[in-house]
Amino acid sequence: MVSKTKELCPRCAQGKLVTDNESGEMFCSKCGFVITEKLQEAGPEWRSFTQDEGGNKARAGAPTSLTMHDMGLATIINPVNKDASGRPLTASMKSTIERLRTWDSRSQVHEPVDRNFRQAFSELNRLKDKLAISDAVIEKAAYIYRKALEKGLVRGRSISALMASALYAACRDTATPRNLKDVEEAANIKRKDIARCYRLLVKELDLKMPVTDSIQCVARIASRIGIAEKTKRYAVKVLKLAQENEVSAGKDPMGLAAAALYLSCVKNGEDKTQRDIAEAANVTEVTIRNRYKGLKESLDL
């Protein structure tokens, strides 16, 4: 396919310039003088069928992500056996390119760091599905793990345990209501191992972890055992009063939310036992009784 332009040939000043889109050459239609042998792609850098949320043309290609071992910036040798001009490769060059493709695929996981990232991020994707966590939290967990690897904290420690602790730290940092027991069950790793790695990350990376808000835990517990909206609202009201009176300071957020829900169930006549709420919140019945007693005495409910 060729296309003509209105520009005249700089050599003969008579013929018009013609562009061969297949070979990329620009030459004169009269004297045949070649102006350029290869043209850069002048088309748009987006695909015509790709659109963003606003209906505008979007850039093509997957976005970069910290959850990929190479951040999504890997290069691959084109599987089409053609050169830049679109001509088929010779037999000898085709053999050389095939050999290069093989070594390119092998070299991508040659570095120990890449192998480490591949194992860690495959574990992270598994935990994401089990715990139903958003992409923002996963990106944060991958960022924390990369920082830990830079500091040499992974050496001599379990990759799975450190990845699980990085995910727990990301949940704490983004105020996502997931506790250590949830991560322990999903990762199938002992709680004390995850806690040990978490303390190491907080200390070595100087992470400032916000305290989990107990109000955010209410909806999670209530949805597991089907508590009414009215009861949930009263439990939130109780927790807000506890925060204003500084009763919640130093208490486990999940245990406090479970106690507030039990208090609300008693107040609104909803038939839920301490055991039901304790199982939904992953806390003990003793914790609920102690927090329930503390809330009643402190808030005069």
Domain ranges of the chain: 2-36, 112-204, 214-299
For 238-273, the pLDDT digits (tens) are: 888 888 888 877 788 888 999 999 999 988 888 888
Q: Do domains 112-204 and 214-299 have the same CATH topology?
A: yes
Q: Do 161 and 194 contact (CB within 8 A), yes or no?
A: yes
Structure tokens at 228: 């009414």
Q: Please state, in angstroms and as integers, the Cα–Cα distance from residue 46 to each residue in 62, 74, 78, 105, 128, following that order.
A: 12, 20, 19, 27, 31
Burial label, 168 (beta-carbon count in 10 A; 0-12, 13-18, 19+): buried
Ramachandran class of 32: left when φ > 0, alpha when ψ lies in -120 to 50, beta otherwise: left
Average pLDDT value over all residues in the chain: 82
46 pLDDT exceeds 70? no
CA torsion angle 232 235 236 242 (round to 10): -170
Query: pLDDT at position 109, please?
Result: 59
Regarding predicted confidence, which is higher, 277 or 12? 277
Lowest-pLDDT range, 47-51, 167-171, 286-290? 47-51
> Mean pLDDT, to the nearest integer, of 171-190?
87
When pLDDT is cut at 50, 70 and 90, the band that residue 141 belongs to is very high
pTM given for the model: 0.59
At residue 49 the predicted structure's pLDDT band, cuts being 50, 70 and 90, is very low
Residues forming the annotated binding site? 9, 12, 28, 31
Binding site for Zn(2+), by residue number, is 9, 12, 28, 31
Which of 276, 273, 280 shows the shortest CA–CA distance to 254?
280
Give the CATH number of domain 214-299; options: 3.20.20.70, 2.40.50.140, 1.10.472.10, 2.60.40.3880.
1.10.472.10
Which of the four CATH numbers 1.10.630.10, 1.10.472.10, 1.10.287.70, 1.10.3720.10 does domain 112-204 have? 1.10.472.10
- Classify 35 as helix, strand or coil: strand
Quick one: pLDDT band at residue 48, thresholds 50, 70, 90? very low
Residue 84 φ/ψ, nearest 5 degrees? -65, -25
Where is 196: in which H helix or E strand? helix 191-204
**Selected residue with higher pLDDT from 101 and 21:** 101
Each residue's pLDDT tens digit, 6-33: 788 888 888 888 887 666 678 888 888 8
Mean pLDDT of 94-98: 88
Q: How confident is the model at residue 200 (pLDDT cuts 50, 70, 90)?
A: very high
Distance, in Å, from the CA atom of 291 to the CA atom of 288, rounded to the nearest integer, reads 5
* pLDDT of amino acid 81: 84
